[in-house]
Structure 1
Amino acid sequence: MQETAIHHLQTVLQNGSLLSPDMWEQLDIERYLEYRDSADFDTAWIQAYQQLRREGLKPAEEERVREWSRQAFDQVIRASGSSELAAYVSDDMDLVFCAYLLGLDHEFIRELAGHYEQGELPV
């Protein structure tokens, strides 16, 4: 995963603009949640997560990942009012940042990060 993408995600999390305003205007939350629960997406996400070896993270790195995930959750819950959507985005940030810190290069995680880097939810 490119370091520039990670730095971009860190920046947008810090300034509260992880997802673009245009994305929010077009989003049907219920439909998106159904998509996230679909077998294809869920299976790919779980497979990527299972490849992480979280025990390789240092305590300071674990804390940073928790903070980035919390920031994502807070931004999405404020913007959408959906705790389920906020949890998905928070989990995505956890996956992306853990993979980066652990040096895991995984196609699904790169694609996930790419969507967020563009200010949109992964589809």
Structure 2
Amino acid sequence: MNLKETNSILYLEKLKNLMLSGSLLSKDTFIVDDLDSIMDSREESNFDKQWIRNYNKINEKRYLINFKIKELIDSIREIAYKITYAFTESSDLAAYVSDDFGLIAEALVLNHNDEWLNTLGKKYLENKIPNGTLNPSKGELRKILLMDNIL
């Protein structure tokens, strides 16, 4: 196992632990007045356009992710789905959140940094479901989301 793979696994394990501990995707994240309006605003062109732009950039390098790391990313997506569904009973919202965490996890592995994606991650740290217009945040996703200046 090379250093890049080892670091990727460490990043993903830390992300997973933040989710399982409730630091990400806590009950507070899902205390909202209108889940339908949140989901609708995620489908508006600005949010959707930025999400797809990041997805496509990551997709160009997805072939670099090995099977072991892909399995770990899948487990993160599954945890995000199950936590969201447990709090909301909304399979649609659970799918959105799972997709977000899949995108975030792949970005961490591929060292994909994007100011919009940084804000997507920040919203989850703030116990909010990202939607609507997200103002760009400078920095590195790993440092923002994992609060990690060491690795």
Change (3 A) 1:121 1:8: farther
Percent of matched pairs sharing the same residue: 28
1:122 aligns with 2:127: no
Question: What residue ranges of structure 1 are gaps of 5+ in the alignment?
Answer: none
Give the 5 Å matches for 1:1-123. Answer: 9-16=15-22, 18-52=24-58, 53-123=61-131
Is 59-68 or 7-16 further displaced after alignment?
7-16
Write the distance in 2 (CA, Å) between the matches of 1:69 and 1:77. Answer: 12
> By percentage of residues, which structure has more helix?
1
Write the distance in 2 (CA, Å) between the matches of 1:18 and 1:83. Answer: 19
Q: Cα distance, 1:100 vs. partner?
A: 0.6
Q: How many residues align?
A: 120
- Aligned CA-pair RMSD: 2.1
Q: Cα distance, 1:120 vs. partner?
A: 1.8
Query: Given the two structures, how large is their TM-score scaled by the length of structure 1?
Result: 0.86
Query: Given the two structures, how large is their TM-score scaled by the length of structure 2?
Result: 0.71
1:95-118 CA-partner distances (Å, limit 9, x unpaired): 001011011111121111111122
- Conserved in 1, the CA contact under 8 Å of 2:25 and 2:124? yes
Write the distance in 2 (CA, Å) between the matches of 1:65 and 1:6. Answer: 7
Structure of larger gyration radius: 2
Question: What residue ranges of structure 2 are gaps of 5+ in the alignment?
Answer: 1-7, 132-151
Runs of 4+ more than 6 Å apart: none
